[in-house]
Amino acid sequence: MGKPERITLQEAASLIKDGDLLTFSGFTIWRRPMALVYELVRQGKKNLHLFEVNGGTHTEVLAGAGCIKIWESCWVGHELYGKLGELVAARQVKGTIITEDYSHAQCVARLLAGAYGIPFFPTALSMGTDILNPEFDMLGKAGLRDGSNPKIPLKKYDMIEDPFYNMGELLLMPAVNPNWALIYASQVGDEGTVRVNAQTYTDIEAIKAADKVIVLAEEIVPDSYLRQEPKLNIATGYAIDYVVELPWAAHPTGSQGYYDVDADFIRAFYSASKSQEGFDKWADEWIFGVKNHEEYLAKLGITRLEKLRANSALGYSRRVKRGTR
């Protein structure tokens, strides 16, 4: 308990061990801790186990770099800027990533249970689908539900007959408590209070569910400032273990109130991601070709970043060209 420790990006990545179970803040291509994801790749992490409510560009970067062993989620892609998660898909087909699919709201149920310290969460969502087909319990098939890994539940899900109001059969989704939540947040107070703008996604649940939490802060501000409007804050300082102050740390994903999604950057990544050679070349340029986050930003250049900067009234940029007109 107490205040989070201020560390560097390199120190943050070095805390993550091969094989750890990770989850992330954000939603598809919004508020992802991209700078830390790049640093995990630079440090050559292996066999990572991801549980994420939904995937995105960051998932594909980790998949392309060969960092992922297990991916439990429901979706991966780049929204309008790349319709598939090509690198996860290629590895699922080859069998080099174990893929465990849940529905989106079933993923939320698992994280909610983890966040609230309860062993499972009941839901009626997405019954009757092949997500529940026992033949498609891929962690079970791999022999990983034997209790030897405390982060993998003994069953993919269970069913219960509602014992209270006779609502019928419901699903029980097992809690997930990742080793780490890797979070990007707009503002973190000097005592660790966390604020994000607009939609909260599953950031609150990810912070609470994880054993340890690292936050990349767009900016660190006085806690007294955040405490003027406590209803806008999403987490207390004692829930956070480490903080890294790093402007533009979510690029190319967007951060409401700070910057928009860099659509051209993600489109270029998506084209590259259609082959391993393409990804490797992209990674040589954008991950291994820059020493650190500052060099990455310098390479992007001020003109590009200024175009993405959010309008302070609207929370997003109107200077980016988004369509054909």
Partner 1 sequence: MSAKNEYAKPGEYKPIDLLAVAAAREVRDGDVVFAGTGLPMLAIMLAQLSHAPNAVCIYEAGSIDGRPIDLPTSVGDARCAYQAAMAAGLTEAFYGQLHNGYVDLGFLGGAEIDKYGNVNTTVVGNYASPKKRFTGSGGNPDINSLARRSVYIMVQEKRRFKEHVDYITSPGWRIKKWPSGEWAHRKDVYHKYFRGGIEAVITNMGVFRFDEQGIMYLDTVHPGFSAEDVKNNVDFDLNISRVSGETKPPTYLDIELLYTKVDPEGIFLP
Binding residues among 179-198 for partner 1 as defined by CB under 8 A: 197-198
Which positions ≥6 away from 1 have C-beta within 8 Å?
A: 238
How far apart are alpha carbons 242 and 14 in whole angstroms? Answer: 12
Residues 74-133 that bind partner 1 (CB under 8 A): 74-77, 79-80, 83-85, 88-89, 92-93, 95, 99, 101-106, 108, 112, 123-133
11's CB contacts (< 8 A; 6+ apart) are: 242
- In sequence order, the β-bridge partners of residue 194 are 188, 235
**Which 3 state secondary structure label does DSSP give 5?**
strand
- Regarding beta strands 48-51 and 21-24, do their DSSP bridges make them parallel or antiparallel, or are they unpaired? parallel
Q: Measured from the CB of residue 82, what is the shortest distance to partner 1 in angstroms?
A: 10
* In the complex, minimum distance from the CB of residue 261 to partner 1, in angstroms, rounded to a whole number: 8
- Residue 52 CA to residue 35 CA, distance in Å, equals 18
Question: What is the C-alpha separation between 224 and 287, in angstroms, rounded?
Answer: 37
| Smallest separation, CB 28 to partner 1 (Å) | 5
Among 34, 37, 138, 173, binds partner 1 (CB under 8 A): 138
- Ranges within 207-266 binding partner 1 (CB under 8 A): 254, 256-257, 260-261, 263
- Minimum distance, C-beta of residue 18 to partner 1, in the bound complex (Å): 25
Nearest-approach distance from CB 70 to partner 1, in angstroms: 15
**Hey, how many other C-beta atoms are within 10 angstroms of the C-beta on 305?**
15
Which residues, 300 to 319, sit near partner 1 by CB under 8 A? 310, 314-316, 318
Tokens matching residue 85: 């998660």
Q: Which residues, 4 to 43, sit near partner 1 by CB under 8 A? A: 26-30
Interaction of residue 201 with partner 1, rule CB under 8 A: yes
Sole binder of partner 1 in the list 118, 154, 159, 160 (CB under 8 A) = 159
Cβ proximity to partner 1, 42 vs 274, nearer residue: 274
Considering the complex, what minimum distance in angstroms separates the CB of residue 278 from partner 1? 18
Note the Cα 150 to chain centre separation in Å: 21
Residue in 5, 18, 169, 285 binding partner 1, rule: CB under 8 A: 169
d(CA 6, CA 17): 19
For residue 72, state whether it binds partner 1 (rule: CB under 8 A): no
Window 272 to 301, contacts with partner 1 (CB under 8 A): none
Nearest to 242 by CA among 2, 6, 16, 64: 6
Pick from 10, 118, 119, 141 the residue near partner 1 by CB under 8 A: 141
